[in-house]
Amino acid sequence: MKFVKNLCLAVLFVTLVGVSTSNATTHIVEFGGAAGFNFVPKVTPSVMVGDTMQWVGSFNFHPLKFDRVPVGADTIVPPTTGMTFIYVVKVAGTYTFYCMQHGGVGGVGMSGSFTDAQVSVKTQNSGLLKMKTNYPNPFASSTNLAYSLAEPTVVSVRVLNVSGSTVYQENLGMQNSGDHSLELGNGAFGCNGTYIVELRAGEAVLTQRVVKAD
């Protein structure tokens, strides 16, 4: 089965639901208590669209404030009381934050940050399925996805936008073991933006982030 649902929206990155992917990660940032007047870690590495950031500490003593977020990201309004705050990363870019009581704009004092680089991807492998980084990435008209199968199995591909909505889906059928290559063109993506390509082989599901930019 194949279908296309291209949503070329000017607000593609605005007010979106978080992407749920097989490799999504929760990153915990601690502050106050044993961490003292610090955010630990101060800089959080390897963040991807769909990951969750979780701050754990006392907001009564360390009110959290964001001074930099990427264009199109959801407005971040941390609590002023309580012990935990969760934010799902939906837009790539750099996010910086600080304690309004003990920090300041520009990283002075108690501050922290994390960066989600659009063009970075995680190399992912499983016992049955291995997937390489697509090329080119970013791409203008098409991109190629190389993968290999440890044994014959049924393969399918799905493309999701950053809201988690499926914009393209195709059943590739039964494929032999070995190396394979799949070309995905404009018909699978639509307008410019960041997408998640999900490759399924039997019970194995791997995802990869791709960026379309004319």
- 49-88 pLDDT, tens digit each: 778 899 999 999 999 999 888 877 778 989 989 999 999 8
On the question of pLDDT at 15 being above 60, the answer is no
pTM of this prediction exceeds 0.85 = no
- pLDDT greater at residue 14 or residue 30: 30
Distance CA 128, CA 82 (A): 44
Q: What's residue 106's pLDDT?
A: 72
What is the rounded average pLDDT of the residues 149-169?
86
- 175-185 pLDDT, tens digit each: 999 999 999 99
Residue 196 burial by Cβ neighbours in a 10 Å radius (0-12, 13-18, 19+): buried
Question: Hey, what are 129's tokens?
Answer: 């399925």
